Structure 1
Amino acid sequence: MSTDFQSARVALGARLRELRAEAGLNGKDMAERLGWQRSKVSRLETGKQTATAADLDAWAQALDAPAEAADLQSRLRGMESQQRSWRRQLTKGHRAVQDRYVVEYRQTATVRGYEATVIPGLFQTPEYARHLLIHNAELMQSPRDTEAAVNARMQRQEVLYQPSKTFNVLIWEGALHALVCPAEAMAGQLDRLVGLIGMSSVSLGIVPFGVQLTLTPKHGFWIFDEERVIVETINTEFTLESGEDVALYGRVWDRLDESAVRGPQAHRLIARARAALDLS
């Protein structure tokens, strides 16, 4: 759990405790009014448990303070939309970020992902990843720990071979043609994608050029266990945890999936991108 998220949860708990005290109630009284266990009131007030929207509405109603409900819900939405600056995360280089992703994927059973401009990190070859990380370190003016970061990214890929996990990943065809590394390295990367087709834990779909779409290709995003969404922009990483946000990104993924091809058709698109490379 991020420090920012935990700090926000503690702050929300402190506000709940403050409202209760202003009403002249102790924790036992509050639990009785709500019909909850005393331990739940304590966990919410100390930031050891994340309140739901229903919990907050019930809290305001129990205190006969309906006007406070909107403020409490706003605080919860702020927690559910966590924002982490890349500049801050990359202060010591890329390795720490990659290590966090290793843990994230190990703790996740089902992933749905979409990338429009880049081959997903889960599927990258070391050479392809190396060039991306070098380019990003130069852009962000962050310390260059490229080899350690590449090794951590490769370690993350171990989850692909765990039968208990499922990865449903979509790639916009343009990512197959984005030459962010030498042609030889890109050829190896495309060969790697072909090797993923048919893996029991991986469902790889390509959204082709020229296909009929019900929405534009959008930015990349990843849905973890249908509970949270991670979205990366140039300067920030967002973690979205509200049910509405997760459902919205799920619908976007479903619409893109309707236009995606798999199996032999996906293989042909990858082969076409490889044939377009100048390997002379």
Structure 2
Amino acid sequence: MTTSPSSSAQAARQNVARRLRDLRRSAGLTVTELANECGWHHAKTSRIENARTPPSPTDIRLWCRASGAADQAADLIAASQHAESLYREWQQRVRAGLARLQDSCVDLYRSTELLRVYSPVLVPGLLQTEGYAQALLSIDARFREVPDDAVDAAAARVRRSQVIHEPGHRYVFLIEEAVLYYQLGDAEAMAAQLGYLLTAGALPQVSFGIIPTATHERVMWPKETFDVHDDTLVSVELVSAEVNITQPSEIALYVKAFEQLRSMAVYGAEARALIVKAIDALG
């Protein structure tokens, strides 16, 4: 079982590739013979079998027909399309602007009764202040070489965060203590963000925990940033893409990791003391 979020999509792709390879071998065809049957270069067959090139629906139909397994084409096409849907390129999502990207998440938050968020590097989006969000989104726009609409995007992110006050939802946020010291924006923006965190955990529907850097004998090492929406979806942010995990066994692993991380966190007065310490360090 693969537990890396970046490998979830690749594992699905490799599963399709392996099934296609098995069909070719069962039919007694060489790579070149199958390529000739399908009307393409043998290198394409190798790329598909090694999961370097995703096959199109037409590719799969031709492959299955050549292998005497036309009845398996529909299932393999569905599996291939599912594998590709797991991995959505960030560049495609931000073409309409970062502000639109913020608005696109609202419905998902509203449909989630219990949202669990773990972040080792940033203040979670639903807890970000406008100044902090603007600094972060401006950096993101420059990195991705897309139009910098960070001012509008930050305002949209704050509007989106109002969902946290709507009834019928519970939120559990976990961060590593280091998040408090990664400065985004100027000292004033960072102080405002830290100040907001002092009150965030007081909301009745919110649990806000901080895992101290000085934790002895960690039961779980820092993980990638991930959100667990109820027990139906895990969303993981990578540099190049967002990976959405819907496989129950994989979701269960993330829930298990979250609970182990949560067991190391401090809350309430202890968490506020860590935040005050970080504010003092701003000088």
Distance 1:80 1:222, change over 3 A: farther
Distance apart, 1:96 and its partner CA: 1.7
Residue ranges of structure 1 left out of the alignment (5+ in a row): 1-11, 13-64
Cα pair 1:83 1:238 within 8 Å, conserved: yes
Q: Deviations over 1:9-46 (max 9, x none)?
A: xxx9xxxxxxxxxxxxxxxxxxxxxxxxxxxxxxxxxx
The corresponding residue for 1:37 is none
Distance 1:128 1:111, change over 3 A: same
Q: Deviations over 1:171-229 (max 9, x none)?
A: 11110100122111111100000111221110000011121311211111000011000
SS of equivalent to 1:139: helix
The corresponding residue for 1:152 is 156
Distance 1:157 1:81, change over 3 A: same
Q: Deviations over 1:89-131 (max 9, x none)?
A: 1112101210111221122111001000000110011000000
Distance apart, 1:245 and its partner CA: 1.3
Instruction: Give the counterpart of 1:262 among 257, 267, 271.
Output: 267
The corresponding residue for 1:136 is 140
Q: Hey, what's the Cα distance between the residues in 2 that align with 1:244 and 1:224?
A: 15
Does 2:229 match 1:195?
no
SS of equivalent to 1:204: strand
Aligned pairs for 1:201-212 (under 5 A) are 201-212=205-216
SS of equivalent to 1:198: coil
SS of equivalent to 1:215: coil
Aligned pairs for 1:48-59 (under 5 A) are none
Q: Hey, what's the Cα distance between the residues in 2 that align with 1:259 and 1:79?
A: 35
The corresponding residue for 2:252 is 247
Distance 1:74 1:218, change over 3 A: farther
The corresponding residue for 1:226 is 231
Q: Deviations over 1:229-264 (max 9, x none)?
A: 000011111111010111011011011001001000
Residue ranges of structure 2 left out of the alignment (5+ in a row): 1-15, 17-68
The corresponding residue for 1:114 is 118
Q: Hey, what's the Cα distance between the residues in 1 that align with 2:96 and 2:175?
A: 30
Distance apart, 1:144 and its partner CA: 1.5
Distance apart, 1:147 and its partner CA: 2.3
Amino acid at match of 1:108: T
Q: Deviations over 1:120-179 (max 9, x none)?
A: 110011000000011110000011222221121011111111231100110111101001
The corresponding residue for 2:177 is 173
Does 2:247 match 1:237?
no
C-alpha root-mean-square deviation of aligned residues, in Å?
Answer: 2.6
Runs of 4+ in 1 over 2 A off after TM superposition: 71-74, 76-81
Distance apart, 1:88 and its partner CA: 1.3
Amino acid at match of 2:223: K
Cα pair 1:102 1:153 within 8 Å, conserved: no
Aligned pairs for 1:34-73 (under 5 A) are none
Q: Hey, what's the Cα distance between the residues in 2 that align with 1:198 and 1:125?
A: 16
The corresponding residue for 1:100 is 104
Q: Hey, what's the Cα distance between the residues in 2 that align with 1:270 and 1:202?
A: 17
Cα pair 1:77 1:242 within 8 Å, conserved: no
